[in-house]
Amino acid sequence: MLSRVANSLYWMVRYVERADNLARLIDVNQQMLLDNESLDSERLRAFWRPIILSTGDEELFNRLYDNAGSSEVVRFLTDDESNPNSIVFCILQARENARTVRDQLSEDLWEELNGLFLYIRSEEAKWLRVSNPQRFYENIRRSAVTFLGIASSTTMRGEQWDFMELGRHLERADKTTRFLDVVTYLSDGDEEAATGTVHWPAILRSCGALGAFRSSERSVTAPSVVNFLIFSRNFPRSVRFCIDRVDVCIHRISGSERGTFCNRAERESGKLLADLNYGLTSVAFSVGLHHFLDNLQARFNAIGDAVFECYVLMPDRIKSYQPTELRSAYSTSNWQMQQQQQQ
């Protein structure tokens, strides 16, 4: 498979997954506000700002907006095309990546993604965005899930599927940690306050995990939620589950056996999976939940960078690419998007 095609398929699915997760986060947060109608403007800013902090886009947000109220944060994350990680921008980029490899996609898959693109540009979407935001975000989520379902049922199980699955699960793992990180920002970094926050059920709803969680756990507590969303072997949005799928995909692409490695991507994914297999929730809280989640996000970035080096970056440019510092998932994706455009 051409590296350009692999990169486009990887980012097509990753952008759709990102749009889906952002829609989940905004929708759940807005519904939570219905239970807190008495909040004053200052407390509302404190309620929304952690969302921006958890995505890692606070620098850009501060340049574009003076306030961090509900309307500003929702617009920034939803349809502000100045934000390369807004829902609308992600869908635009997903469609653009799909357009460049349209011959690799089924007609149904292209039509679903193109339909989502047309929807976010429509007057109906603009009207729902203001009059019925819950319905607006639900439509995006359903379309994203439909897209992934069509991809699963119409894509040949080969390298193209492995790159698509790799992008989906790496993005999903990153978003799960960022949903959890919202709680640490809501508590201003106070770990004791974080363990007692009332926002844990909302975090579960953001991940679509509340029903699955209740079927296996008796009560919603900080340790039980963190254990479920990070270390569960069976829930498809847990970090451990996603990294296991990432490791499977990376080894299928290279053809090497799992438990061994022939490139840096396999080594990074294998090390992370081993740490998650033998990890403990108590350790996450003992080192500090925010620090623990931040470390996971850095390791996701390392896997993404390694995949890009191994399978996308041209050999004559590898020597000139020398990462000097850890990037956020968002700055990494922006850099990789620039590389796509240059290729």
More confident residue, 117 or 43: 117
Does residue 36 surpass a pLDDT of 80? no
- Total residues belonging to the chain: 343
Amino acid of residue 289: L
215, 252 in Cβ contact below 8 A?
Answer: no
Give the residue carrying structure tokens 């219905």.
34
132, 143 in Cβ contact below 8 A?
Answer: no
17, 176 in Cβ contact below 8 A?
Answer: no
143, 122 in Cβ contact below 8 A?
Answer: no
Give residue 193's pLDDT band: very low, low, confident or very high (50, 70, 90).
Answer: very low
pLDDT tens-digit readout, 51-72: 888 888 888 988 888 877 778 8
Token pair for residue 159? Answer: 């390298």
Whole-angstrom distance, CA of residue 223 vs CA of residue 145: 29
Whole-angstrom distance, CA of residue 19 vs CA of residue 12: 11
More confident residue, 32 or 175: 175
pLDDT tens-digit readout, 251-290: 999 998 998 899 899 999 999 999 999 999 999 999 999 9
What are the two backbone dihedrals, phi and then psi, of residue 199, each rounded to the nearest 5 degrees? -90, 0
pLDDT tens-digit readout, 170-185: 999 999 999 898 887 7
- Report pLDDT for 51: 80
